Amino acid sequence: MMSREWSGEPTDADLAAIVRAARVVAVLGMKDDARAGEPAIEIPRLLVARGLEVIPVNPTIKSALGRPAYARLADVSVAFDLLDVFRRAENVPAIADEVLALPPERRPRVVWLQSGIRHEAAAARLRAAGITVVQDACLGVLAARYRPAGPPETA
């Protein structure tokens, strides 16, 4: 997906490359359709409109956007290249633990912490494992900027 790893925060050009290369996004903390209007359902809806496959991950919902939801990352049965996190910063260390507990071949290449979410220590642990980390940035805004609307692109 990406040709290099970042030791710190990705630049704007790096973010554009990440967004353009993404194909399958697991959304941790995704809301269901009953919560229309909330970012944790509207951003995934925008991602789908921009050609990305979205996998809901939230133990409190059964499905979202017509897709079955998984309770935990370890339960997700398909590969995903980006993990989009809609959880509070205090939850990020446990999320990093969950990501790092996955077999290396099943780990996402990118962990994306949505706007307002930062945790430097957890991000450093993920980066040390070769995972790119984006903090405090809205994936939806960047997807709208860098991905055309429509079906998934073919590689």
pLDDT per position as a tens digit, 125-136? 999 999 999 999
Q: Tell me the CATH number for domain 12-146.
A: 3.40.50.720
Which pLDDT belongs to residue 7? 54
User: Tens-of-pLDDT digits for all 155 residues of the chain?
Assistant: 343 445 567 888 999 999 999 999 999 999 998 999 999 999 999 999 999 999 999 999 999 999 999 999 999 999 999 999 999 999 999 999 999 999 999 999 999 999 999 999 999 999 999 999 999 999 999 999 999 886 655 44
**Rounded to a whole number, what is the distance in angstroms from the first to the last CA of the chain?**
10
Which pLDDT belongs to residue 2? 41
Global pTM reads 0.91
